[in-house]
Structure 1
Amino acid sequence: MVLTQVIDFMQPTISIITPSFNQARFLPRTIESVLTQDYPNMEYILMDGGSTDGSLEIIRNYADRLSYWESKPDRGQTDAINKGFARATGKYLAWLNSDDVYKPGAISEAVDFLENHPEAAMVYGDCTFIDAQDREIGRFPAAQTDVHRLRRGYVHIPQQASFFRADLWRKVGPLDLSFYFAMDYDLWVRLAKEAPLIYQPGRVWASFRLHGDAKTIAADDRCWPEMLRVHYREGGHRLAPIVLKYQLRKLVAPVINWRRQRMFRFPARAEME
Structure 2
Amino acid sequence: MDEEFRQRLDQRLEQLENRVALLERNLDLIAAGQRRSSLRSLWRRPPMWTFEQYPARMLNLNAFNSAPAIPANAPRIAMVTPSYNHAQYLGAAIDSILSQAYPNLYYHVQDGASIDGTVDLLKNRGDSVSWKSEPDKGQSNAINLGLAGVDCEIMAYLNSDDVLLPGTLAHVVNYFMSHPDVDIVYGNRIFIDREGLEVGRAVLPRHDGKTLRYADYIPQETMFWRKRVWDRLGPIDESFHYAMDWDFILRAQAAGFKFVRLPRFLSCFRIHDAQKTAATYAIGVREMGILRRRVLGFDPTQMQIRRAIAPYLVRQLAYHYAYKLGVLRY
TM-score range, shorter chain: 0.7 to 0.9
Structure 2: distance between partners of 1:61 and 1:243: 52
Q: Which residue of 2 aligns with 1:60?
A: 123
Q: Which residue of 2 aligns with 1:31?
A: 94
1:21 aligns with 2:89: no
Task: Say which SS state the counterpart of residue 97 (structure 1) adopts.
Answer: coil
How high is the sequence identity, in percent, across the aligned residues? 37
Post-superposition offset of 1:235: 5.1
Which amino acid counterpart does residue 34 of structure 1 have in structure 2? Answer: I
Post-superposition offset of 1:223: 2.1
1:93 aligns with 2:155: yes
TM-score normalized by the length of structure 2: 0.67
Structure 2: distance between partners of 1:127 and 1:196: 21
TM-score normalized by the length of structure 1: 0.81
Point out where structure 2 has 5 or more consecutive residues left out of the alignment. Answer: 1-70, 307-330
Q: 1:75-101 deviations in whole A, cap 9, x for unaligned?
A: 011100011111422100010000100
1:196 aligns with 2:251: no
Task: Say which SS state the counterpart of residue 12 (structure 1) adopts.
Answer: coil
Structure 1: distance between partners of 2:176 and 2:78: 14
Between 1:218-227 and 1:106-115, the stretch displaced more is 218-227
Alignment of 1:47-126 (within 5 A): 47-66=110-129, 68-126=130-188
Post-superposition offset of 1:152: 2.2
Distance 1:242 1:111, change over 3 A: farther
Q: 1:128-184 deviations in whole A, cap 9, x for unaligned?
A: 11011100011235333344321122x221101111011111111211111111000
Q: 1:205-240 deviations in whole A, cap 9, x for unaligned?
A: 1000010100222222332321221222235223x4
Q: Which residue of 2 aligns with 1:258?
A: none
Structure 1: distance between partners of 2:302 and 2:247: 14
Asked if structure 2 preserves the Cα contact closer than 8 Å seen for 1:81 and 1:95, the reply is yes
Q: Which residue of 2 aligns with 1:133?
A: 195
Asked if structure 2 preserves the Cα contact closer than 8 Å seen for 1:128 and 1:204, the reply is yes
Post-superposition offset of 1:39: 2.2
Q: Which residue of 2 aligns with 1:177?
A: 238
Alignment of 1:137-152 (within 5 A): 137-140=199-202, 142-152=204-214
Structure 1: distance between partners of 2:112 and 2:235: 18
Q: Which has the higher contact order (CA 8 A, sep 6+)?
A: 2
Q: Which residue of 1 aligns with 2:293?
A: 232
Asked if structure 2 preserves the Cα contact closer than 8 Å seen for 1:146 and 1:192, the reply is no
1:42 aligns with 2:42: no
Between 1:28-37 and 1:87-96, the stretch displaced more is 87-96
Paired residues in the alignment total 236
Structure 2: distance between partners of 1:191 and 1:51: 32
Structure 1: distance between partners of 2:292 and 2:196: 35
Asked if structure 1 preserves the Cα contact closer than 8 Å seen for 2:213 and 2:296, the reply is no
Task: Say which SS state the counterpart of residue 128 (structure 1) adopts.
Answer: strand
Task: Say which SS state the counterpart of residue 148 (structure 2) adopts.
Answer: helix
Which amino acid counterpart does residue 245 of structure 1 have in structure 2? Answer: I
Q: Which residue of 1 aligns with 2:52?
A: none
Structure 2: distance between partners of 1:158 and 1:95: 12
Asked if structure 2 preserves the Cα contact closer than 8 Å seen for 1:47 and 1:70, the reply is yes
Structure 2: distance between partners of 1:174 and 1:122: 15
Q: 1:185-219 deviations in whole A, cap 9, x for unaligned?
A: 00111112222211012x11100001010022222
1:245 aligns with 2:308: no
Q: 1:27-47 deviations in whole A, cap 9, x for unaligned?
A: 111100010003221110110
Larger radius of gyration: 2
Post-superposition offset of 1:241: 6.6
Asked if structure 2 preserves the Cα contact closer than 8 Å seen for 1:78 and 1:183, the reply is yes
Which amino acid counterpart does residue 170 of structure 1 have in structure 2? Answer: D
